[in-house]
Structure 1
Amino acid sequence: MQAAARPKPRPTFVRKAGGARPNRRRDICPRPAREPATTLTRPAVLPGEDRFAMRHPIDPFTPAVELAAAIRRKEVSPVEVAVGCLQRTDRLDPLLNAFCHRADDDVLKAASAAADAVVRADSPDDLPPFHGVPLPVKDLLDVAGWPTTHGSAGADPAPAAASAPVVRRFVDAGFVLLGKTTTSEFGTVSFTESEALGISRNPWDPDRTPGGSSSGAGVAVAAGLAPLAHAADGGGSIRVPASCTGLVGLKPTRGRVTDATVDVEGLGTNGVLTRSVADTAAVLDVLARHDPAAWWSPPAPRRSFADAVTAAPPKGLRIGVLVDPPIDGLAVDPACLTAVDTTLRTLEAAGHHIVDVPLPLPPADELVSTFTTLWNVAAAGVELAHPDRVEPHNRVLREAARAVDSWAYAEAVKRSQHLSRRIVEAFVTGFDVLVTPTMACLPPAVGFWRTEGDDDPLAPLVKCYPLAVFTSLFNVTGQPAISVPVHHDDATGLPVGVQLVAAPWREDLLLQVSRTLERAHSWTGRRPALA
């Protein structure tokens, strides 16, 4: 530990004129421009920061597990890490729009407290696993003292009184909450281009969408604004941004991650977007711990997911394939099929067996009807201060949900359970892992959902079918599914993900197979040009 030297001048932080960064934007179509800024100067040295010897510059793309280890070794300070994230956000976010709420003072106070805790700890093992690592939260979960907009201009802007259980789990694991990331309104579409939060853009090509609804989460991690980010998935909202932005995105099994309320229809779950399989596994160990306060919580796995990833991978797995969209009339982009073919060749070379076993899919209209009924009811559950400000497509969804009687809802739940049973049985008897494209298309252009003269309020939802057609099926069945970026399209320079699906509770198997692909394709070294 070095003796305290002359304090270094603190970096400055840029904030928009008028104080805190506003979390609403009205410029739907134009690219957000950098606004005039004022400079806010921090103290010369924050508590605990002078106690660390900076041995090497902080790479903004350092995996979270490695960053946590460096903090425990006192190679970097949590304050330095937080400062780096905030500075990159100041520089890149006026274009990309990953964050809808920033609380820099809260971030630096939490980072400073984390730095003090490192110094006071008798042993690095006394610290939680992600001590001092920054993590932003998707703006669908409450964080005490911060507003929750659900991506809507109709939300109550008052700060939340308490944090959601998942957020508390992140804090208990040592994460420094970095702010809140953008989402489509109520998370109902696969892009964020809203009156409330503006346009979120893909770091690989700012003229394209980063996917959604965890749009800001994908942008933040892909651009190096954060080492990882909270995300949530009710129809593909973790896996679609993962594919669009070149990340790893795991949707855990239904019920694996418990929260404050019971998601009766079981479509949605919480997770993270990361750059590496190891980070995803380590965070799942945090999120999947047994919750004694939940009405139902699965027992903790017998082996940690982090250990599963480092163990010898299984051999001789049966690998099924699905490349025909479950909804008729949709074509699959050749780049997405190339991602599947690359995956199959890699797994076959690793000693696994490609099997031709059909998936017992229901008729497309039955699948769409079942998903839509459950989805509408879930979207209608958000309480609003100004319902008249809701976007047109969500207004239609909420009205449709109110028209669903108890019998129709019960029928939708029953159909989803029968569907889940049939498909899961195929995994038991036919194959161990299913490979599909994550999306049927490459990330579309910003504004793709707009068609001149088309005043159909449901157009944003219909235009999202190619993005979520392969992912939403497994929200209905509740199975674990992961998107990994095995392919990079030379023609567009865009990453392309492939989806792996396993039987319920087999996240360990998905992570092991994903690690095999990661070793073969080395996606962790890929970075957008602007980063």
Structure 2
Amino acid sequence: MNPFDSAVSLAQAVRSKQVSPVEIAQEYLRRIDRYDPEINAFVWRNDEEVLQAAKDAEDAVMSDGKLPAFHGVPIPVKDFNSVAGQPNTYGSVGVSDAPRTETDLSIERLQQSGFLLMGRTNAPEMGPMSVTENQRYGITRNPWDLRLSPGGSSGGGAAAVAGGLAPVAQASDGGGSIRMPSSACGLVGLKPSRGRVPMRVPAWEHSATDGAVTRHVEDAAALLDVMSVPDLLGWYHAPVPERPFAEEVGRETGRLRVGLLVSAPTGVPVDDECVAAAKALAHVLEGLGHDVSPVEPRFFSLDAARAFVDLVVPAALHLTPYDDPDLAEPYLQVLRAQALSRNSAEYAQGVALLHLESREIIAQWGRDFDVLLTPTMACTPPPAGTVVQDKNADPTGFRMTETQMISFTFFANLTGLPAISLPVHRTAAGVPVGAQLVGAPFDEACLIRLASAVESVFGWTTTLPDAFR
């Protein structure tokens, strides 16, 4: 087997008895042993459990019974998501490693689809950070250049997939946390629409979602299918798609109006390499017959953005399961204290403003353009170990790199729009740089069609970091 194969193809190989689930698990565990000490993607391992589950999966294959879609394929879980019997420390010294008693809904769906849960991957403490480093587990590094960050907050999973330590990884996205690591690590990062993937409590005022980081578009589509089985007990769920998302791979999109935006909604400078990524994708889409033209969309006002940053995120940190919040990173202690200094009227007013402005922003899709094309980030991956250090030094001040990283991603979370980062460019030094497509409400299908149409043109599935081949 090739450790960089798609999860879909590995599952097909298992069903056809070309490869055993045990062989697959052993290969990834061998690569974790070999490569993870320098990447630091995994923070907890369950090797014996994985190998036993793989043996059980092998027995099921030999019995020739009906098998689920991803039978016998391993997947790591981000250290924000709970699995019964596993720890979930949220990357924090202040959280116990006692086993959890409940499994998150999205993880249940992965298990039901046949995935074998293989370890837990690193994330910044509690999530509100664009890189993957914390006091408990240290710094996760980018397989393309170990001096750089893989981004965050799903950087552990992205580093694992980029290095060939897992075929795909479970992830989550509250402001760009799937797309930023995918851009930094040369991967495909699909953020689902609001309500597409079920959560018991939608985090950050329904801006966060579970999902996955993948190398192959077919995996992004197929994982969305299995993770998005509706939760009929929840407050709401996204409309059922016209057909399975896996069937959108390779399907024609028709001629689309693609709006190109290369200036950051936050007003910060955009690195030339990031502009080049967006323009490279624009050029290919134009060649495929789409109408690409510059646009200047309306985005959130400063008051609305501040409502999210200063009210929603700090308040959400009081829902996190600290055993000892005094052990939190300094910047998180400041945010938690900030929440206590605001009142419920301010919170309600801020959330109402987000709702009202979201309506005006979303209305541009279908009216002014069909899809919005941007750089994924306004900067290339930053040096590992710098961004959290800067935030701890000045928790409430302006930080250029952090702002550049989230400038093009956060609005899709606040509006609930689907978005995907594609690895369409590399710097002269070989570092990946992604471009982002943002789709109309609940139209992941369009993004999958576009992504699959350009995948072979850019050849990212076979472009691998030299040291991890």
Aligned partner of 1:171 in structure 2 is 111
Deviations 1:44-101 (A, max 9, x none): xxxxxxxxxxxxxx11101110000000001111011001111100011111000011
Q: Equivalents in 1 of 2:190, 2:318: separation in Å? A: 26
Distance in 2 between the 1:298 and 1:453 partners?
35
CA distance in structure 1 between the partners assigned to 2:234 and 2:73 by the alignment: 27
Task: State how far apart, in whole Å, the 1-side matches of 2:353 and 2:25 are.
Answer: 47
Residues 314 and 455 of structure 1, relative CA distance in 2, 3 Å threshold:
closer
How far apart are the structure 2 equivalents of 1:182 and 1:459? 26
Q: Any idea what the Cα deviations from partners look like across 1:100-152, whole Å, max 9, x if unmatched?
A: 11011111111111111111134xxx110000000000000111111100010
Map of 1:22-421 to 2, 5 A cutoff? 58-122=1-65, 126-263=66-203, 265-311=205-251, 313-328=252-267, 330-364=268-302, 366-421=304-359
Pick closer, same or farther for the CA change 1:453–1:214 going to 2, 3 Å: closer
Which is higher, the Rg of structure 1 or of structure 2?
1
C-alpha distance in 2 between matches for 1:460 and 1:79: 49
**Cα pair distance change 1:224/1:450, threshold 3 Å:** closer
Equivalent in the alignment of 1:433 = 371
Asked which structure has the greater RCO (Cα within 8 Å, sep 6+), the reply is 2
Which residue pairs with 1:52 in the alignment?
none
Q: Which residue of 1 aligns with 2:464?
A: 527
**Paired AA for residue 452 in structure 2:** R
Q: Does 1:501 align with 2:438?
A: yes
- Could you tell me which runs of 5 or more consecutive residues in structure 1 were left unpaired when the two chains were aligned: 1-57
Q: CA deviation at 1:459?
A: 6.2
Match of 1:423 among 332, 352, 361: 361
Distance in 1 separating the partners of 2:388 and 2:314: 22
SS, match of residue 359 in structure 1: coil
Q: How does 1:477-488 map to 2 (within 5 A)?
A: 477-488=415-426
| 8 Å Cα contact 1:393-1:460 kept in structure 2 | no
Any conservation in 2 of the 1:380–1:397 contact (CA below 8 Å)? no
CA contact (8 A) 2:261 2:294 kept: no
* CA shift for structure 1 position 193: 2.2
Asked if structure 1 preserves the Cα contact closer than 8 Å seen for 2:204 and 2:312, the reply is no
**Residue 36 of structure 1: aligned partner:** none
| SS of structure 2 residue aligned to 1:355 | strand
Q: Which has the higher helix share?
A: 2
Contact 1:449–1:459 under 8 Å retained in 2: no
- Aligned-pair distance for 1:314? 1.6
SS in 1 for 2:49: helix
Percent identity between matched residues is 43
CA distance in 1, matches of 2:80, 2:391: 32
RMSD: 1.7
Report deviation, 1:325.
1.1
- Indicate if the aligned counterparts of 1:326 and 1:364 stay in contact, CA closer than 8 A: no
Task: Note closer, same or farther for the CA distance 1:460–1:274 as it changes in structure 2 (3 Å cut).
Answer: farther
Q: CA separation in 2, counterparts of 1:67 and 1:275?
A: 13
CA distance in 2, matches of 1:372, 1:110: 44
- How far off its partner does 1:299 sit? 4.3
Residue 530 of structure 1: SS of its match in structure 2? helix
Structure 1 pair 287–454 and aligned structure 2 pair: CA distance change class (3 A): closer
Deviation string for 1:445-471 (max 9, x for gaps)? 112237799832346966411111110
CA gap 1:481/1:297 in 2 versus in 1, 3 angstroms: same
Q: Select 2:413's aligned residue among 445, 467, 475.
A: 475
